[in-house]
A and B are shown apart, each in its own frame.
Chain A
Amino acid sequence: MSQTNRIAKGLIDTSRTVDFTFNGRAMQGHAGDTLASALLANGQLLVGRSFKYHRPRGIFTAGSEEPNALVHLRDGARQEPNTRATVAELYDGLTATSQNHRGSLEHDLMAVTDLMSPFLSAGFYYKTFMWPRAFWEKLYEPAIRASAGLGRLSMEDDPDTYDKGYLHCDLLVIGAGPAGLSAALAGGRSGARVILADEDFRMGGRLNAETLAVDDMPGSAWTEAALAELRAMPNVRLMTRTTIYGAYDHGVYGALERVTDHLPDPGVKPRQVLWRIYSRRAVLAAGATERPIAFGNNDRPGIMLAGAVRTYVNRYGVTPGQTMAVFTNNDDGWRTAADLAAKGVDVRAIVDTRDRAAVCDVPGARHIRGAAVMDTVGRKALKSITLTDGQVIPCDALAVSGGWNPTVHLTCHQRGKPEWNEAIDAFVPGAHLPAGMVVAGAANGQLTLAAALDEGRKAANAQLKDLGFTPSRKPGPKAEDEPREGAPVWYVPESRKRAWLDLQNDVTVKDIKQAHRENFRSVEHMKRYTTLGMATDQGKTSNIPALAIMAKCTGKSIPETGTTIFRPPYTPVPIGALAGRARGRDFRPYRLTPSHEWAKANGATFVEVGNWLRAQWFVRPGEKGWRDSVDREALQTRQTVGICDVTTLGKIEIQGRDAAAFLNKVYANGFAKLPVGRIRYGIMLREDGICYDDGTTARMGENHFVMTTTTANAVLVFRRMEFARQCLWPDMDVHLISTTDGWAQFAVAGPKSRDLLRKVVDKEHDISNDAFPFMACGEVTVCGGTPARLFRISFSGELAFEVAVPARYGNDMMRVLMEAGREFDAVPYGTEALGVMRIEKGHAAGNELDGRTTAHNLGLGRMVSAAKDCIGKTLSQRPELQRDDAVKLVGFRPVDRSRNLIAGSHFISQGRDAVMANDEGWMSSVAWSPSLGHSIGLGFIRSGDARMGEVVRAVSPVHDTEMQVEITSPHFIDPQGERLRA
């Protein structure tokens, strides 16, 4: 196939031929073509099948509003469905295939649905597939899904990468047509930081599509000059291929830049960048969208909006047909005829709904006044049109103009409502605009070139003045105002055949009338009932005509009928772009413990704890499963000594004259009297009296404490303490700073822990039980002078210490501790063994501090000091939270010691049914205790502390099991605490 419809050079580079294929057929276009213009050049008018009826469809527009010409672009993993051929830039080797047909595009087996259209009217699915209900999942939905839909996904991983970014400017200009260029020039010349963004790959908007002159130059030439001036300005950033898709709060805009979509080989650079643009002010110069007129069979390939025809003729040098007709209700349509004729295209007729004289002279064209097109012939390509007066005009393409709608979408993104402007019979931006935005040019209803240029400049200058810039005195561009009168005609009532409104979702005039008859009259109801405007194009060409038809049906005016609210995005944004880099391993950042490298080299399996990667256990040769490793680590620790990296616990340094008084406020128990060099365990309450965190706090000096928090709550505790310090007790001298990452901290636990540490801690520091008893803390040095902090605390229940060194030494400290411990058979242990040992010891952790439990529930009620106020104290005293029969934290063991307890089981007394009403509590943590040789658990049960020895049912409906369990003390190991004080 050759470029039979290429009639002129246009603004493309005809010296560069570009090869591409459509449905496997080799075709050629030129650099500067879109896929649509190249298809038209090759005479390929049929490009797809419609969504519902599988009607043959062609190219309808020349821009992002395209409802029809959706294709699969590229192939393999990069295949992208629903790509608008009208915005896809042609590149060498491009492959495109048509969508939504079974069999070939020309002989779609699903086209039979078109014959069934009398049954497939609005609301068909709602009415038909209601019953029987059981058929929904198995029959109706799969069948509907198989026949509906547009393009298909490749079902392969997206091989491209995406990125995000942040831009700042004084003035954002949205759209680089006449108004936008004029605004950007004004902005640039004033010295303001300007961003000019346009969705097209060539800036200029309608200036590239028309034959109108600016400053006595062709519009496209003036555009080139304006862009050259803007490019030379360091304060101006030009962003082509960039859609401003959303207007958000406070001058923030969302933009999608298509970086590599037009390249034969996208390479490794991000395919698209999702920008967040912070603008102090914005000029919306988004232009206008032409609207169609609905008439019978107005969806045939070859029927196109008149402005789009001008774009193809003037910019791309392509005519959609060899024998053309124009159908218009306004002056603008005449220019299409004139431009076509000027390029030598045979224009057969200009059908004007108005009974008035010719707007201009179009050689060879018949002017048919006061008539309309009511039907067309030609299944896969237009053959003729039939007028209301009965005459039939043969033609292979028809240009339709129903007037223009300002592109007001972004003005609505902050709930602004467009207003009806009778002078142009269209909605224009309402008074309530997103903060900082003004609208200029066609988007503001200024539908002529001179007016758009003028308003763009003035709008920008007004914004610049507000920002304190001095507008340039340079005169603005000059142009003539072209004729643009029109009389609204939305559809041709004489049409007997289906007249299409929403070409993408196959909604007809009849469907709107039916919605009216069935009382779905509000715009929002009409939309949802008919699906009008709900396709990927969001009804850019169909919403307003449909609204006009509904207005006619209800006898109301269009503004009384209303308009729909536009929401972001203006055009679809790929999920990949929204995800940006956050995919796979890069979904979120990782935090590594200081001994990560050592752990990696020593058989560690890692577990994600928040963002942290922690060693879960360390495998040794011969171990068959994780339990082997965990049991060994726990047993060896209790037998001699084990070492665990506990750096992830939050560390907050608290300094100030009022540090102790402050801790008294944020902890339930008292800290004011804690001596320097000593540590205390503390619990924190929310103001509602529920426990939310626990940890130890060491008094390093009179006005200096070091608090530890649980790993998970480190950020939350810090935030709440800042709230307490700034908002509740603002005159306390307290200062908080996190040092979590600064100190590599290791638990050294087990009967040999002191012996081990004596080899590491420098000799001048006495760490004997007398000098450094349980709950002592202090600054020491290790390994010959390295500063360290030593804490005598125990989570395992053994004689234990935690030693902290500056994080830079952390990895080596792990090595040193292991070497020093070799004579004791020291083991490294991970989070699993840590968990086993804390359950054996009966220490509460996240499973117990689950946001529902109080100190009373945890058996720590006496820690809530009666002598002082603290956050959460008053409400923790509520009678309901202090009941004697409240759930209490106790231990559990299976009566049949061979069975494993199940966390999440609920407790039911003997002889009672396992129903919610009889629920007495739940198992919060379980472990297999290698020291005891059976499964153990911690849990909450009503009056638990008074029920030692009682056997209850532990029921887990989720696992469909139950077992008999005995209530015990939560302290399975060393209940008197002798070991940790040794």
Chain B
Amino acid sequence: MPEFTLTAAPPLAGYDRDFGAVTLKAPEHLAIVSIALPLGGEDAAKKAIKAAFGVNLPEVGRSDVAKDKSAALMRLSSDQAFALFPCETPDAERQIAAKLDGAAYTTDQSDVWCALEISGTGARAALERICMIDLHPDAFALNAIARTVMEHLGVIIARTGDNTYLLLSASSSAQSFLHALETSIENTQ
């Protein structure tokens, strides 16, 4: 037995608040692994991704769900994507690396980001106060993603439902981003 053990305490662990027309919560155990496509090895990497997740690598600005629903893929730029999946242990990167078998470069991003899910009929109105991206369903359809800035903080926003958005922001500033979102919701309720 080791002399010491470590307890995980992600920044917004357990946060879940109902504001009426909006619910805001921090999903638990969301692992994020970045996948970079090697220059010249894009086709092989895409093939490996297809084999691993059962779906094609989405276009830039889009996300897709693995065939067996075990993970989601977000394409952030021409040579970079994120795989998101539930995972409690700190070995997410190894799991994805094993699946891709060297066809792409992987990095663990689980602790880099802090996720918040905003949902409800008032979600879009609240986000209007901090998000420059057009979130109208015609402009930001289901499975659309964008990397942008809100209240000086880099944020990845994904539309995961009719009135549901997943927001990833840096874990070190998670409290500030939460404050920005809570203020937006309160200001628009």
Query: Does the CB pair A741–B111 fall under 8 Å?
Result: yes
CB-CB under 8 A from B113, the residues of chain A are 741
Query: Does the CB pair B105–A589 fall under 8 Å?
Result: no
Q: Quick one: which of A738-762 are within 8 Å of B by CB? A: 738-743, 759-760, 762
Q: CB-nearest residue of chain B relative to A268? A: B186
Query: Does the CB pair B38–A657 fall under 8 Å?
Result: yes
Is A251 part of the binding interface, using a Cβ–Cβ cutoff of 8 Å?
Answer: no
Complexed CA–CA distance, A737 and B107 (Å): 8
Is A787 part of the binding interface, using a Cβ–Cβ cutoff of 8 Å?
Answer: yes
Q: CB-nearest residue of chain A relative to B39? A: A733
Task: State the Cβ distance, B147 to closest chain A Cβ, in Å.
Answer: 13
Task: State the Cβ distance, B146 to closest chain A Cβ, in Å.
Answer: 13
Q: Quick one: which of A142-166 are within 8 Å of B by CB? A: 161, 163-166
Q: CB-nearest residue of chain A relative to B3? A: A759
Query: Does the CB pair B175–A581 fall under 8 Å?
Result: no
Is B179 part of the binding interface, using a Cβ–Cβ cutoff of 8 Å?
Answer: yes
CB-CB under 8 A from B173, the residues of chain A are 589-592, 611
Given the known inter-chain contacts A589-B153, A739-B112, A741-B170, please indicate yes or no for A167 contacting B128, CB distance below 8 A.
yes
CB-CB under 8 A from A223, the residues of chain B are none
Complexed CA–CA distance, A784 and B113 (Å): 25
Q: Quick one: which of A564-620 are within 8 Å of B by CB? A: 581, 586, 588-594, 597, 611-612
Query: Does the CB pair B110–A163 fall under 8 Å?
Result: no
Complexed CA–CA distance, A167 and B3 (Å): 56
CB-CB under 8 A from A581, the residues of chain B are 151, 180, 183
Task: State the Cβ distance, A459 to closest chain B Cβ, in Å.
Answer: 24
Is A809 part of the binding interface, using a Cβ–Cβ cutoff of 8 Å?
Answer: yes
Query: Does the CB pair A589–B6 fall under 8 Å?
Result: no
Contact of A655 among B11, B107, B139 (CB under 8 A): B107
Query: Does the CB pair B8–A808 fall under 8 Å?
Result: yes
Q: CB-nearest residue of chain B relative to A820? A: B4
Query: Does the CB pair A591–B134 fall under 8 Å?
Result: no
Query: Does the CB pair A784–B2 fall under 8 Å?
Result: yes
Chain A contact residues: helix, strand, loop or mixed: mixed
Q: Of A536-544, A810-818, A900-908, which binds chain B?
A: A810-818
Contact of A591 among B79, B130, B131, B172 (CB under 8 A): B172
Contact of B131 among A166, A273, A704 (CB under 8 A): A166
Is B161 part of the binding interface, using a Cβ–Cβ cutoff of 8 Å?
Answer: no
CB-CB under 8 A from B70, the residues of chain A are none
CB-CB under 8 A from B11, the residues of chain A are 592
Interface readout for B2-19 with A: 1 if CB under 8 Å, 0 if not? Answer: 111111111100000000
- The residue among A165, A588, A731, A743 with the most chain B CB atoms within 10 A of its own CB is A165
Q: How many residues of A contact B (CB 8 A)?
A: 64
Q: Quick one: which of B21-48 are within 8 Å of A by CB? A: 34, 36, 38-41
Query: Does the CB pair A735–B79 fall under 8 Å?
Result: yes
Complexed CA–CA distance, A739 and B111 (Å): 8
Query: Does the CB pair B129–A813 fall under 8 Å?
Result: no
Task: State the Cβ distance, B162 to closest chain A Cβ, in Å.
Answer: 14
Complexed CA–CA distance, A361 and B126 (Å): 56
CB-CB under 8 A from A193, the residues of chain B are 136, 138
Contact of A166 among B132, B175, B176 (CB under 8 A): B132
Is A394 part of the binding interface, using a Cβ–Cβ cutoff of 8 Å?
Answer: no
Contact of B152 among A589, A762, A787 (CB under 8 A): A589
Query: Does the CB pair B36–A735 fall under 8 Å?
Result: yes
Contact of A806 among B108, B130, B132 (CB under 8 A): B108
Query: Does the CB pair B172–A812 fall under 8 Å?
Result: no
Complexed CA–CA distance, A122 and B6 (Å): 77
Contact of A808 among B10, B40, B109 (CB under 8 A): B10
Q: CB-nearest residue of chain B relative to A759? A: B3
CB-CB under 8 A from A786, the residues of chain B are 6, 90
CB-CB under 8 A from B152, the residues of chain A are 588-589
CB-CB under 8 A from B34, the residues of chain A are 737
Task: State the Cβ distance, A144 to closest chain B Cβ, in Å.
Answer: 41
Q: How many residues of B contact A (CB 8 A)?
A: 54
Q: CB-nearest residue of chain A relative to B37? A: A735
Q: Quick one: which of B126-172 are within 8 Å of A by CB? A: 128-134, 136, 138-139, 151-153, 170-172
Contact of B129 among A163, A806, A808 (CB under 8 A): A163
Is B80 part of the binding interface, using a Cβ–Cβ cutoff of 8 Å?
Answer: yes
Is A16 part of the binding interface, using a Cβ–Cβ cutoff of 8 Å?
Answer: no
- The residue among A656, A784, A808, A820 with the most chain B CB atoms within 10 A of its own CB is A808
Is A805 part of the binding interface, using a Cβ–Cβ cutoff of 8 Å?
Answer: yes
CB-CB under 8 A from A647, the residues of chain B are 172
- The residue among B172, B183, B184 with the most chain A CB atoms within 10 A of its own CB is B172
Task: State the Cβ distance, B12 to closest chain A Cβ, in Å.
Answer: 11
Is A343 part of the binding interface, using a Cβ–Cβ cutoff of 8 Å?
Answer: no
Contact of A760 among B4, B38, B172, B180 (CB under 8 A): B4
Query: Does the CB pair A168–B139 fall under 8 Å?
Result: yes
Given the known inter-chain contacts A733-B39, A737-B109, A787-B90, please indicate yes or no for A168 contacting B2, CB distance below 8 A.
no
CB-CB under 8 A from A238, the residues of chain B are none
Complexed CA–CA distance, A886 and B3 (Å): 55
Query: Does the CB pair A813–B177 fall under 8 Å?
Result: no
Interface readout for A417-433 with B: 1 if CB under 8 Å, 0 if not? Answer: 00000000000000000
Q: CB-nearest residue of chain A relative to B134? A: A168
Task: State the Cβ distance, B35 to closest chain A Cβ, in Å.
Answer: 10
Task: State the Cβ distance, A82 to closest chain B Cβ, in Å.
Answer: 26
Complexed CA–CA distance, A786 and B108 (Å): 14
Query: Does the CB pair A738–B4 fall under 8 Å?
Result: no
Complexed CA–CA distance, A431 and B107 (Å): 55
Contact of B7 among A738, A739, A782, A812 (CB under 8 A): A812
CB-CB under 8 A from B134, the residues of chain A are 168, 278
Task: State the Cβ distance, A755 to closest chain B Cβ, in Å.
Answer: 13
Complexed CA–CA distance, A657 and B183 (Å): 46
Q: CB-nearest residue of chain A relative to B5? A: A783
CB-CB under 8 A from A167, the residues of chain B are 128
Query: Does the CB pair B5–A784 fall under 8 Å?
Result: yes
Is B91 part of the binding interface, using a Cβ–Cβ cutoff of 8 Å?
Answer: yes
CB-CB under 8 A from A816, the residues of chain B are 4, 6
Task: State the Cβ distance, B178 to closest chain A Cβ, in Å.
Answer: 10
Query: Does the CB pair B129–A165 fall under 8 Å?
Result: yes
Complexed CA–CA distance, A647 and B172 (Å): 10
Complexed CA–CA distance, A738 and B113 (Å): 11
Task: State the Cβ distance, A591 to closest chain B Cβ, in Å.
Answer: 4
Task: State the Cβ distance, B102 to closest chain A Cβ, in Å.
Answer: 10
Task: State the Cβ distance, B60 to closest chain A Cβ, in Å.
Answer: 15
Given the known inter-chain contacts A168-B136, A806-B111, please indicate yes or no for A589 contacting B7, CB distance below 8 A.
no
Given the known inter-chain contacts A590-B175, A806-B110, please indicate yes or no for A655 contacting B170, CB distance below 8 A.
no
Is A269 part of the binding interface, using a Cβ–Cβ cutoff of 8 Å?
Answer: yes
Query: Does the CB pair A807–B171 fall under 8 Å?
Result: yes
Is A819 part of the binding interface, using a Cβ–Cβ cutoff of 8 Å?
Answer: yes
Is A74 part of the binding interface, using a Cβ–Cβ cutoff of 8 Å?
Answer: no
Query: Does the CB pair B7–A741 fall under 8 Å?
Result: no
Complexed CA–CA distance, A254 and B136 (Å): 20
Q: CB-nearest residue of chain A relative to B10? A: A808
CB-CB under 8 A from B153, the residues of chain A are 589
Q: CB-nearest residue of chain B relative to A785? A: B2
CB-CB under 8 A from B6, the residues of chain A are 782-783, 786, 805, 809, 812-813, 816
Is A732 part of the binding interface, using a Cβ–Cβ cutoff of 8 Å?
Answer: yes
Complexed CA–CA distance, A784 and B5 (Å): 7
Is A825 part of the binding interface, using a Cβ–Cβ cutoff of 8 Å?
Answer: no
Q: CB-nearest residue of chain A relative to B8? A: A808
Given the known inter-chain contacts A589-B151, A742-B112, please indicate yes or no for A806 contacting B90, CB distance below 8 A.
yes
Give me 11 other A-B pairs in contact (C-beta within 8 A), A591-B176, A741-B172, A783-B4 excluded.
Answer: A163-B187, A276-B132, A590-B175, A655-B105, A656-B39, A734-B39, A742-B110, A784-B2, A784-B4, A809-B7, A809-B8
CB<8 Å pairs between A and B, sample of 24: A168-B134, A270-B187, A273-B129, A276-B132, A588-B152, A612-B172, A656-B39, A733-B41, A739-B109, A739-B112, A741-B112, A742-B109, A742-B110, A742-B112, A760-B4, A783-B4, A784-B5, A806-B111, A807-B171, A809-B6, A809-B90, A811-B9, A812-B7, A816-B6
7 tightest A-B CB contacts, nearest first:
A589-B176, A784-B2, A735-B36, A591-B172, A807-B111, A742-B112, A168-B134
